[in-house]
Structure 1
Amino acid sequence: MTTNFKSLLQVLDFFKEEKTCIDYLAQQRWGATPSCPHCGNVSAYTTNRGYKCKAKECGKKFTVITGTTFENTKISLRLWFAAMYLCTAHKKGISSLQLSRDLNITQKTAWFLLHRIREMLAINNSEPLTGTVEVDETYVGGKKINKHKSVRAKLKDGTGYVNKTPIVAMLQRDGNIVTVVSPIANGETIKPFIYKHVAPGSTVITDGFGAYKGLDKTYTHEVVNHHQNEYVSEKGFHTNTIEGFWSQLKRGIIGIYHQVSPKHLHRYAHEFGYKYNTRKQLDTFRFSETVKLCNKKRLTYAQLIK
């Protein structure tokens, strides 16, 4: 089943009926042969409500949405697909208020939908980044002076980084990016992320932040001293590529979402990281690839607000 959507109207025109959505999801998830989500067996009976596993030790019934983000959903797959298209096609994202107006659903439902879609977009790189890799951190959170008096009383005094949440990112030149929300920005928390996601022997470019000291034991470590107004080193190294990613993330938070809590920040980072990694792909390809990511990515409302 091939699709070539160029607008939301084409998405809604194609997915007019729920059966079309179910058939499309089945093809994206399994291909030609249904696979039992309980035991992994690729042989199943067709029932009037879905499938039943042929394996004697299993024999469980399942549908196309069992074991996916859509499991137990009360929202039609047609609305799900429309929301997924909008979320992944908009470069700076879409707010829950805007999505609720576009799809004629409540803001609470739209908020829950978007977070479940972001959970699907979590970057799970099986292969480490190689070659030339830029590493940087940024801080998300409003200025203390702009917060309510009751909130300011509970916050610490300090520089602009205090009371903000750090995000660490590793970006391979002409490749993918990996983002991690860290509880604090120091060498003990940042370097394990780098060791996990960047292959030894790679060229790692950072700024002069002290947390990156010691990386030269594992990598070719090049430093760009931003505090000395150096943005391209004498050897030609820079972190301008990853700074461009930060600008997209910050523009999305400031312009679209306005305020992001530390509790959910990692999902917003997943969203922008996924769109960066698929930046050279058409919207229709990004949509179909997003549908394939639904397996084993369930997020309940209780988990979300816990």
Structure 2
Amino acid sequence: KFGIRKAFGIVFEMSATTKSLSSSQMAKRYSISRPTAWLFMHKVRSAMKSSELNPVVGTVYVDEFVYGGKEDLKQGRSKDSKKKKIVAAVEIDDEGGIKRAYFKRIDDYSSDELGKIFHSHISTQAKVKTDKWSGYIPLKREYDIEQIKSNTSDFFQINTIIHQVKSWLRSTYSWMHEQNIQKYLDEYSYRLNRSIHKQTIFDNLITRMINQKPIGLQSIKTSR
């Protein structure tokens, strides 16, 4: 509807740049309507979703966090908080650097919900480190989990990534619907996990988009 050259430009902005843009900013830059930019960008994000074919096998830290506005008297792991609940998994290399990071939107802090990121992205052979939250205990039957205090220096890398993703969401998007939060998280992971492959990340994303099935507005509105 708006030309293949503009489409390539948007895909490049979303893949090869550091932070991407909001749909409003993208619409202004490429002289298209905001709804058109919003829909196309969500189609791009659908192609950014992990294949989940290469689970983490090394050392990985897992922690939960919330994203959203402040709420009075809502602290810690409040079950009735309206904030978006997210669990993160960050793979660390032998030098302490970050190799990969994945995120999952969760409904609560139960082992079933926390297990989503384990089953999608973490091998049973991996060495997993979490805080002392009881929700991780049932997962020890399947995964090698060590529970330690989260205020130690061991959690510095994952806390840094969590801070970065929250800052990116706040600075780029003024508001996100609950059902779309996972798409934004997939976008962040896609760029971060391929940050050392800037020369091929655009080509990789174009190939993914070509190979995926057509996506309509209704499927984007109803997907999570």
TM range (shorter): 0.7 to 0.9
2:129 corresponds to 1:205: yes
Identity of aligned residues (%): 23
Q: Which one of the candidate residues 32, 36, 46 is aligned to 1:119?
A: 46
Distance in 1 (alpha carbons) for counterparts of 2:155 and 2:171 = 24
Q: C-alpha separation between the residues in 1 aligned to 2:120 and 2:3?
A: 39
- 8 A contact 2:104–2:116 mirrored in 1: no
C-alpha contact 2:88 2:101 (8 A) present in aligned 1: yes
Distance in 2, matches of 1:270 and 1:195, equals 16
Q: Are residues 1:77 and 2:1 paired?
A: no
Residues 135 and 170 of structure 1 are in contact (CA less than 8 Å); yes or no, is this contact kept in structure 2? yes
1:255-295, Cα deviation, whole Å (9 max, x unpaired)? 1102222110000000001011101122x421111101111
1:100 corresponds in structure 2 to: 27
The answer as to whether partners of 1:121 and 1:290 remain within 8 angstroms in 2 is: yes
Structure 1: gaps (5+ residues):
1-73, 146-156, 233-237
Unaligned regions of 5+ residues in structure 2, if any?
Answer: 94-98
Q: 1:192 to 1:121 in 2, by over 3 A?
A: closer
Paired residues of 1:132 and 1:173 also in contact (CA < 8 A): yes
Match of 1:187 among 111, 121, 126: 111
| 1:286 matches 2:163 | no
Distance 1:188 1:263, change over 3 A: same
Partner residue, 1:168? 87
2:102 pairs, out of 178, 195, 198, with 178
For 1:139 and 1:195, how far apart are their aligned partners in 2? 21
Question: Where do 4+ consecutive residues of structure 1 move more than 3 Å?
Answer: 214-220
Deviations 1:56-75 (A, max 9, x none): xxxxxxxxxxxxxxxxxx23
Q: Does 1:141 align with 2:68?
A: yes
Q: Distance in 1 between matches of 2:52 and 2:127?
A: 19
The answer to which structure has the higher helix fraction is 2
Evaluate the alpha carbon distance shift between residue 165 and residue 100 of structure 1 in structure 2; reply closer, same or farther with a 3 A threshold. Answer: same
- Is the CA contact 1:95–1:256 (under 8 Å) kept in the aligned structure 2? yes
> TM-score by structure 1 length?
0.64
SS of the residue corresponding to residue 134 of structure 1 reads strand
Assess if the C-alpha contact under 8 Å between 1:205 and 1:223 holds in 2: yes
2:96 equivalent in structure 1: none
Cα RMSD, aligned residues only: 2.0
- Greater RCO, CA 8 A, separation 6+: 2
User: How far apart are the structure 2 equivalents of 1:217 and 1:305?
Assistant: 37
Q: Tell me the TM-score normalized by structure 2.
A: 0.86
Deviations 1:133-178 (A, max 9, x none): 1111221221236xxxxxxxxxxx6436511121222222243333
Residues 254 and 193 (structure 1), Cα distance of their counterparts in 2 relative to 1, 3 Å cut = closer
| Structure 1 residues 87 and 201, CA gap change in structure 2 (3 angstroms) | closer
The alpha-carbon deviation at position 112 of structure 1 amounts to 1.1
Partner residue of 1:247 out of 153, 158, 163: 163
- Write the deviation string for residues 32-90 of structure 1: whole angstroms up to 9, x where unpaired: xxxxxxxxxxxxxxxxxxxxxxxxxxxxxxxxxxxxxxxxxx23221111000111233
Contact 1:120–1:297 under 8 Å retained in 2: no
